[in-house]
């Protein structure tokens, strides 16, 4: 099925029958990717006395509870409410869902024991393009990203100057295959988050902060998806929270 999408003041044709899902599913099998020192998410049937909400146990339906944290348990999209004193909901702020997008692959640079995505790397990868959304695939692109426990591993992150450059390019939606755009332990500085959202005061958010911009973390971009230009459909679960589980889907342009 061919659709015409309006994005970034232009029209694009995409084939809705050929989506590329770059999200990681939430599972209860003990092999979910996790971060921030939390355990695995739990999906389990409701029990009430002798009744178990599972067809295999005699119930007429499967009736599960799910316990998870959106920031720690897989692909999620967050708004600037993640770092502000006042409450902001990603479900209220994200009102458009189709965007021009660029997929780039970057090998984080080793610096003082860390691995960092730099401004120079992002600038070279974009090569003058200014999409509405940017997906950064870190290399090597190993399959353990689908199941990794990131806690206490000091994963790669984005330097403040790179986040500022991305913002200044007009990119509204940043997607990464990392648990955070910032260093795992940074003393609460959150420099990349603040730079991307242009938040200079978390107590009283400045008027020029980017309220409609989002960061999506813990995506997985398979090697079968080439670097280049796409249309992104950024789908989120309608949680009234600073972050929500999400399902970013790419479409080829033609």
Domain with residue 146: its CATH number is 3.50.30.50
**Is 32 contained in some domain?**
no
Q: Contact at 8 Å (CB) between 180 and 140?
A: no
pLDDT value at residue 254: 87
Q: How would you class 37 by CB atoms within 10 Å of its CB: exposed for 0-12, middle for 13-18, buried for 19 or more?
A: exposed
Q: 119-126 and 160-168 are packed helices; what angle lies between their axes, rounded to 10 degrees?
A: 30
**Is 145 contained in some domain?**
yes
Q: Is the pLDDT of residue 72 over 90?
A: yes
The total domain count for the chain is: 1
- φ/ψ (deg, to 5) at 163: -65, -40
pLDDT value at residue 86: 97
Average pLDDT score over residue span 170-179: 98
**Is 150 contained in some domain?**
yes
**Is 37 contained in some domain?**
no
pLDDT value at residue 98: 97
pTM over cut 0.95: yes
**Is 195 contained in some domain?**
yes
**Is 228 contained in some domain?**
yes
Dist CA 179 CA 75 (whole Å) = 9
């Amino acid at each position: 099925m061919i659709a015409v999408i309006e994005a970034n003041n232009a029209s694009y044709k995409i084939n809705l029958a050929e989506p590329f899902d770059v999200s990681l599913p939430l599972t209860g099998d003990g092999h979910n990717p996790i971060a921030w020192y939390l355990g695995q998410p739990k999906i389990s049937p409701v029990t009430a006395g002798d009744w178990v909400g599972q067809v295999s146990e005699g119930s007429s339906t499967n009736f599960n509870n799910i316990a998870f944290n959106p920031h720690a348990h897989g692909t999620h999209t967050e708004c600037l409410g993640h770092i502000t004193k006042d409450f902001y909901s990603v479900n209220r702020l994200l009102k458009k869902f189709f965007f021009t997008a660029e997929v780039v692959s970057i090998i984080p640079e080793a610096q003082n024991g860390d691995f960092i995505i730099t401004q120079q790397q992002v600038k070279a990868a974009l090569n003058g393009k200014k999409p509405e959304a940017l997906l950064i695939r870190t290399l090597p692109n190993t399959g353990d990203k689908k199941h990794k426990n990131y806690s206490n591993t000091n994963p790669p992150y984005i330097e403040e100057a790179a986040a500022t450059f991305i913002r200044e390019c007009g990119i509204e939606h940043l997607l990464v295959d990392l648990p955070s755009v910032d260093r795992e332990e940074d003393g609460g500085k959150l420099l990349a988050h603040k730079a991307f959202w242009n938040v200079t005061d978390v107590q009283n958010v400045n008027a020029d902060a980017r309220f409609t911009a989002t960061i999506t973390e813990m995506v997985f971009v398979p090697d079968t998806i080439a670097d280049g230009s796409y249309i992104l459909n950024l789908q989120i679960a309608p949680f009234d929270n600073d972050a929500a589980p999400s399902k970013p889907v790419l479409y080829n342009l033609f």
